[in-house]
Amino acid sequence: MTDRDIALLLADAADGVEIGIAPTQAVIRGGRRRRTRRWAVGAAVALALAGSTGTLAAAGLTHGDGNGPARVATQPPAPKPRHVDQPRTSALAIGFEDDKRWEVDLQVWDAPRDKAEAESQFAAMALYGLSPAGVSRASDLVGRTSYSVSRIYGDADKPKTVMFDTVRHWDPMTGKDIEAAAIPLTGSGGPQRLVIGQVAKTAREVTCRWKDGTSTAVRLTTDPGSLNVGDMTIRPADGSPVNWFVCLASKDTAYKSVEVTK
């Protein structure tokens, strides 16, 4: 595939992406220690982070065919090709409401190792309409990982980037550290019913509490390799050292608070 072919494919993908801004009032605070952090597209949004600087990664799965005896490697395996101009995407939650499908996805952009990789990634992000926070030139991306969260609702809706950040040190979270934001499920207005967040790998349960007094408990998935419609779980994501969760309130209420409860 030529550079022109890749550019055309990226341009086609960018046509279907709608960029939005995570609302300031959607910020959720949690954990024992707090520090400010950018977590938005096109604007800085104060987001308190407890514990580490917060990382977005997910454990990958390895598979074997199970046929025949194990073979001993006689030489080191060839390194996997790097595609810093293509994010690694993981679905965090899928559901239906009013006969319309909605989905929340996480995209992780690997850290470029040199100026050439940084320029390739910078150009690809521009095609997606993304502008890395605190980055004024492509070379600033060297050694820095970027991530974004997108939400889509209905067949006619375009993927909308609701969170975006670029970090140099993506340390894992610990204990009851939590970083999250509440946004509307549809459009840019309406009640903040959809809660998206990240927690430590050791977290086994997150509880989302709603304004009507009810709550939703989201637990660590027992099957990280699959995601069914309607699943609300804590789960790993490709490229992130922390786990992610999504919870959704009913139509007649909205977000009140969220915390790691186990």
Give per-residue pLDDT as tens, 207-223: 999 999 999 999 999 88
Average pLDDT on 230-240 reads: 92
pLDDT at 155: 75
Statement: residue 60 has pLDDT above 80: no
pLDDT at 172: 81
Statement: residue 47 has pLDDT above 60: no
Sheet of 27-28, strand order: 27-28, 178-183, 194-199, 243-248, 233-235, 215-220, 205-210, 255-260
Higher pLDDT, 155 or 95: 95
As a whole number of angstroms, the longest Cα–Cα distance in the chain is 62
Bridge partners of 101?
A: 96
Its pTM stands at: 0.71
- Provide the residue type at 16 as one letter: G
Statement: residue 55 has pLDDT above 90: no
Q: Which segment of 75-84, 108-117, 152-161, 196-205 scores lowest on mean pLDDT? A: 75-84
pLDDT at 114: 92
84-108 pLDDT per residue, tens = 888 999 999 999 988 889 999 999 9
In the 8-state DSSP scheme, what is residue 172? P
Cβ atoms of 124 and 110 within 8 Å: the answer is: no
Cβ atoms of 200 and 58 within 8 Å: the answer is: no
pLDDT at 164: 85
Euclidean distance between CA atoms 247 and 218, whole angstroms: 7
Residue that the structure tokens 């993927």 belong to: 159
